[in-house]
Amino acid sequence: MLKLLKNAKVFSPRYLGKKDILVVGDKIGLIDDEISVNITALNVEVYDFSNRIIVPGFIDAHVHITGGGGEGGYSTRTPEIYLGELIKAGITTVVGCLGTDGITRSLENLYAKAKALDEEGITAYIYTGSYAVPPLTFTGDITKDIVIIDKVIGVGEIAISDHRSTQPSIEELKKIVSRARLGGLISGKAGVVNFHVGSGENGIDYLLEIIRKTEIPVTHLYPTHMNRNKSLIDQGIEFAKYGGFFDLTTSSSKEEGIDKTISYLGYCFENKVLDKVTLTSDGQGSLPVFNQKGDFVGLKIGEVSSLFETVKKAVERGLLPFEEALKTVTINPSKVLKLNSKGEIGINKDADIVILNEDLSIDSVIAKGNIVMFEKNLVRKGTFES
Ligand code: FWO
Ligand code: ZN
């Protein structure tokens, strides 16, 4: 099937100008100033996207696709994600993970949900593991999980510097990262370890020490929730100077959370490390609040919609140029996750495309070459979605 997308302003995320794009099957086949096809001879759908902006489909590298939570007991286990919520958020590639609760949540369920999202129309991967060390695995071995299970691209979210972590030693973390690296090498995947960083004062000290004291390349260390506080952002900037990617969470339990994240994005841009920064939503993850004594006092649920909302607000408030902000949910995650066919509008790249209105609202979404949302109406929904 051919689709000709005409007259949009295209950000690949680099601005290409007003271009026509020919989608061939599930790939981008051609990008040019003017593409005309013989409509009768070819079975082609033509879309006039004048006054629209085309960007790569968004990659959300940290979503609790089978639900998470549970820190307040059984009734605080959060619900799974549905396809429509991801599409409305412009997310065409998602990486699913387990969190605090690695007991009632299973990796098999996570795998099945990722396969379901694939069948329903987007691209889904997973991390093996959960918060705990030693990590939860499918096969008993991280390296084997990465090598023989198609959807496993790394390990996560492994908790450090958090009262809910298993207080792993640096030696335990070295073993996890080195085994993930072996899996990545043998399978050609990223073999990345997504670290959940809590508010503990040691922050990512262990990760910085692993970079300094071992042969393990920094590319396998991928800390998230680095916008929790200023000292973590400063550690993130130091980490990026070593070539590491670090991740800011867009869901927040506080109203002003998004303002803080946006100011940190501006700060990273000023410190010239934005090319090493990604945003993820922590969608369906719990956003629990604990008091000083560590007692649970309540929780909210992460929203995948916060991912692009954060990009949009950062641009609207003039903190970041659009191209720069866009990188944090397209080309940057595709690099750290080694998803080379994702994150860019380019020849032979996957036809994962978001069409924005000039006010940066999400208008239409194409995933794997199929229209899944058109002019804000969902064309594809999850099997049981109303
Ligand atoms: C963050 C996911 C947190 C779950 O620190 O880590 O709890 O398993 O669902 N969420 N534990 C949220 C902050 C970054 C705001 C998780 C959660
Ligand atoms: Zn987390």
Atom nearest to 257 CA in ligand 1:
15
Pocket-testing residue among 81, 105, 164, 225, ligand 1, by greatest number of atoms within 8 A of Cβ: 225
Measured CA distances, 92 to 12, 122, 334 (Å)? 15, 5, 12
- At residue 329, φ and ψ (nearest 5 deg) are -125, 15
| pLDDT tens readout for residues 243-270 | 999 999 999 988 889 999 999 999 999 9
What ranges in 6-106 are assigned the alpha helix state H? 83-88
Q: Which residues contact 22 (CB under 8 A, 6 or more apart)?
A: 2, 3, 4, 5, 28, 29, 30, 31, 35, 37
Mean pLDDT of 290-314: 96
- What letter does residue 49 receive in the DSSP assignment? -
Pocket-testing residue among 98, 196, 296, 299, ligand 1, by greatest number of atoms within 8 A of Cβ: 196
352 pLDDT more than 90: yes
Mean pLDDT of 111-118: 98
- In the structure, ligand 2 is a single-atom ion and the residues with CB under 5 Å from it are 157, 196
Protein residue with its CA nearest to atom 8 in ligand 1: 99
Per-domain boundaries in the chain: 2-55+344-378, 57-336
- CATH class given for the domain over 2-55+344-378: mainly beta
The confidence score (pLDDT) of residue 143 equals 98
The confidence score (pLDDT) of residue 188 equals 98
Q: What is the Cα 312 distance to its own chain's centre?
A: 16
The confidence score (pLDDT) of residue 384 equals 87
* 43 against 177, higher pLDDT: 177
Q: What is the Cα 151 distance to its own chain's centre?
A: 15
Residue written as token pair 């959370």? 257
305 pLDDT more than 90: yes
Protein residue with its CA nearest to atom 15 in ligand 1: 287
The confidence score (pLDDT) of residue 342 equals 98
17 pLDDT more than 90: yes
CA distance 130 to 238: 26
Q: What is the mean pLDDT of the chain?
A: 97
* 38 against 286, higher pLDDT: 286
pLDDT over 90, % of the chain: 95
Burial of 238 (0-12, 13-18, 19+ CB in 10 A): middle
Label residue 39 by pLDDT band (50, 70, 90).
Answer: confident
The confidence score (pLDDT) of residue 231 equals 98
Atom nearest to 130 CA in ligand 1:
8
CATH for 57-336, among 3.20.20.140, 2.60.40.790, 3.40.462.10, 3.40.47.10?
A: 3.20.20.140
Label residue 29 by pLDDT band (50, 70, 90).
Answer: very high
CA distance 322 to 303: 22
Minimal CA–CA distance to 306: which of 335, 328, 289?
Answer: 328
| pLDDT tens readout for residues 260-301 | 999 999 999 999 999 999 999 999 999 999 999 999 999 999
Q: In 133-165, which positions are buried (b, 16+ CB within 10 angstroms) versus exposed (e)?
A: bebbbbeebbbbbbbebebbbbbbbbbbbbebb
Pocket-testing residue among 80, 98, 100, ligand 1, by greatest number of atoms within 8 A of Cβ: 100
Protein residue with its CA nearest to atom 2 in ligand 1: 285
Q: Would you mind telling me the total number of residues written for the chain in this entry?
A: 386
Question: What's the whole-model pTM score?
Answer: 0.98
Q: Which residues pair with 70 in a beta bridge?
A: none
The confidence score (pLDDT) of residue 42 equals 79
**CB atoms near residue 167 (< 10 Å):** 12
Atom nearest to 228 CA in ligand 1:
14
Q: How many angstroms separate the first and last alpha carbons of the chain?
A: 28
Label residue 40 by pLDDT band (50, 70, 90).
Answer: confident
**Residues contacting ligand 1 via CB (< 6 Å):** 64, 68-69, 99-101, 196, 225, 249, 252-253, 282, 285-288
Q: Which of 145, 282, 350, 352 is catalytic?
A: 282
CA distance 68 to 64: 6
DSSP one-letter string for 255-278: TTHHHHHHHHHHHHHHTT-GGGEE
Mean pLDDT of 197-208: 98
pLDDT over 70, % of the chain: 100
Atom nearest to 164 CA in ligand 1:
11
Protein residue with its CA nearest to atom 13 in ligand 1: 287
Question: Is 162 annotated in the active site?
Answer: no
Read off the tokens for 285.
């993850």
The confidence score (pLDDT) of residue 243 equals 98
CA distance 121 to 232: 36
Mean pLDDT of 68-72: 97
